[in-house]
Amino acid sequence: MTASPVPGRPGQGLRGHDPSGAAPSGPGEFTADHLGRTVVLRGAVPPGRLVLYARGFLLLNRPEVQFVYRADGLWLDVRMERHRARGDQQDHALVSTGEVRSARGLTRREIDVLTLVAVGLTNTEVADRLGTRPRTVSTQVERLLQKLGQRSRAGLAALAVDSNLLALPMPGGVEDVAQVAVVGVERFATMFRSDPERTWAPAPASARKPILLGSLVSLSGSAAEDGEEHLRGTALAVEEINAAGGIGGRRVEHVVEDCDIDDPDAVRTAMNRLVAAEVDAVTSNYLSAENPFLLEMAADYGRPFLHLDTFERHAELVRSDPRRYWMVFQTCPSEKYYASAFVRFVRGLEHHRPYSPRGRTVAVVEMDSPSARIADSGLGESLASVGWSVALRTTVPVRRVDWGRVVERITGASPDLVLVAHFVPDEIAVLHRLLYESGFPGLVHYVYAASLPRFRNLLGPLADGAVWSSTTSRTDSVTATRFQRNYLLRYGVEPGPTQASAAFDQVQLLAWAWARNGGTVPAGTCRALREDVHRGLNGIYSFADGGQSPLSFPDGTSDPTLGQPLITSQIQNGRSVVLSPPDFGSMSRLHLPSG
């Protein structure tokens, strides 16, 4: 059967070639560029929504998944596989489809019943979703047991999963069902409001209007890894809240808009879509650092906007005009504290034996972005106070940096330390490798980006010894351990130390404020956020400061119960070991370069 074109991103249709640029392997193969993720569709007629399902599959972080798909009377066997070409920076999805001709002799209604039984629903719950009677479902279950040679519902569930007989879209939606892989695929796919085929399950008459939580994320481009972690952390928080009954009996519905952080038009369009959806609040990571117009859009919209852009200039903006920006909350301390953390690290080095610096100098490498100007925060003066100085300061672009030339400049300056404020892990991994190959004998201290799992994955053992700091990081606690376990179970990888937990905290902050306010009225919600102190995975959130950003410990406050710790860590044997501040780590754990 020949494949028909499938709509991708507006303005980007399907092309008849694969991601490597080669010609299609045969009739019926098409690729869709969808917000930076290539989806290759092969086989029978591929409905447009499969592109959205492929994106959900990639976010789920599984190597492959199989299910039965139904749309407009057409039933397809679908297999999705994760693929990354050599030299590529992002995974892509290969989607193979073929018409279902005989699924163990089951009718389409029996596949629906089998699917709902397999995800843990009772006969009454299945009947509610299919618009039939529990007695009818009971008869259908008995027939399934006979047809499939099983003795119990558990046997039916195991066979359905093992034989890839679960059907999507899930009849009635994916709320309150077991979290098997295909459920995660649909859950993520249906978060995207741009889905042209999205259908909404009718809510029971007794159900209250859901709370709409909007997420503005970048799942492609230079911030893709952080965008994925942010979305996954948010999704876990939403599921946890809904599993506990929602907020005052209202479920939280997660609405996602994707955009490339380096494409201002796409960012603006994505925010406008959330506004058009009338979401009750918007969460994001650091998109607004590179796209400051988002703060103006948030002010015009007038509903809570929680971000992680660590940009002191934006905290000052809120402080300077609280009547306009009362709904903007920066849920992490500002980048101005990075200089203090680095000087604290340098001071700790002076007491670390047998460390003996040659000239007490630092080379500073900064990304060409206002949010990466670490040396502008009084770094030179602070270093001078402890007998150190800046020997080199250089600015590099976001992408395609000539790191060979940068390394030549660094080695020519002969610094004892290198401070790197560049936020793209693929780029700094190249720098780190070249510094190693050049024989650089000093320590390299990265602002934030070396905390990302991708940095360690790209370098392997060469990442050992790298030092990193972050204004917001997950702290040790029972809830943090539970979060880490749940994240690993759901996505098959451990979360990084910053983004996923920070996103989880954003949702919990809003949920707490909505509950305390007794509803989602914006003014009351924001007042609740400002008036109390909240403990999250990444530390303490207090927005009493006029800039509506948390205090940083120990530089913004000396009380660890009132601020988020600015953690400095070193990668050792593939794991991050906390060095400071003293209440959370120790400089005695530092490994010095062997040379």
**DSSP 8-state assignment for residue 460:** G
Nearest 10 degrees: Cα torsion 452, 454, 460, 465: -20
Measuring CA to CA, which residue among 36, 517, 30, 483 is closest to residue 259? 36
d(CA 269, CA 84): 28
The answer, yes or no, to whether residue 489 has pLDDT greater than 90, is no
d(CA 404, CA 394): 13
Residues of the chain with CATH 3.40.50.2300: 211-334+478-483+496-539, 337-470+568-589
Q: CA separation (Å) from 277 to 194, 241, 494?
A: 11, 21, 32
The answer, yes or no, to whether residue 335 has pLDDT greater than 80, is yes
d(CA 285, CA 288): 8
The answer, yes or no, to whether residue 424 has pLDDT greater than 60, is yes
Which pLDDT belongs to residue 353? Answer: 64
d(CA 164, CA 79): 9
Helix (H) or strand (E) run with residue 33 in it? strand 29-34
Contact status, residue 390 vs residue 375, Cβ threshold 8 Å: yes
pLDDT digits (tens, 9 = 90+) for 304-326: 999 999 888 999 999 999 999 99
Class of the CATH domain delimited by 108-164: mainly alpha
Query: Does residue 76 sit in helix, strand or coil?
Result: strand
Among the residue ranges 189-203, 263-277, 285-299, the one predicted with the least confidence is 189-203
d(CA 197, CA 189): 11
Measuring CA to CA, which residue among 415, 468, 411 is closest to residue 434? 411
Residues of the chain with CATH 1.10.10.10: 108-164
CATH of domain 211-334+478-483+496-539: 3.40.50.2300
Query: Does residue 564 sit in helix, strand or coil?
Result: strand
pLDDT digits (tens, 9 = 90+) for 523-533: 999 999 999 89
> Which phi and psi (to 5°) does residue 231 adopt?
-65, -40
The answer, yes or no, to whether residue 75 has pLDDT greater than 90, is no
* Token pair of 529 as six digits: 């956020």
pLDDT class for 263, splitting at 50, 70, 90? very high
d(CA 331, CA 329): 6
Which pLDDT belongs to residue 409? Answer: 96
**DSSP 8-state assignment for residue 402:** -
Contact status, residue 520 vs residue 249, Cβ threshold 8 Å: no
Question: 554 preceded by cis ω (within 30°)?
Answer: yes
d(CA 93, CA 63): 10
What average pLDDT does this structure show over 347-368? 85
pLDDT digits (tens, 9 = 90+) for 200-214: 444 444 457 899 999
pLDDT digits (tens, 9 = 90+) for 157-209: 888 888 888 888 888 888 778 778 888 888 888 787 655 444 444 444 445 78
pLDDT class for 595, splitting at 50, 70, 90? low
What average pLDDT does this structure show over 65-71? 85
Non-local (6+) Cβ contacts of 111 within 8 A are: 68, 103, 165, 167
* Token pair of 301 as six digits: 């919209």
Is the CATH number of domain 337-470+568-589 3.40.50.2300? yes
The answer, yes or no, to whether residue 463 has pLDDT greater than 90, is yes
d(CA 225, CA 232): 11
CB atoms within 10 A of CB 335: 25
What average pLDDT does this structure show over 266-290? 95
pLDDT digits (tens, 9 = 90+) for 215-250: 999 988 778 889 999 999 999 999 999 988 899 889
Which pLDDT belongs to residue 13? Answer: 27
DSSP string, 284-311: ESSHHHH-THHHHHHHHHTS-EEE----
Radius of gyration of the chain (CA): 26
Give the 3-state secondary structure of 88-111: CCCCEEEEEEEECCCCCCCCHHHH
> How far is the first Cα of the chain from the last one, in angstroms, to the nearest whole number?
64
Q: What angle do CA 267, 307, 498 make, to 5 degrees?
A: 110
d(CA 398, CA 407): 16
The answer, yes or no, to whether residue 361 has pLDDT greater than 60, is yes
pLDDT class for 88, splitting at 50, 70, 90? low
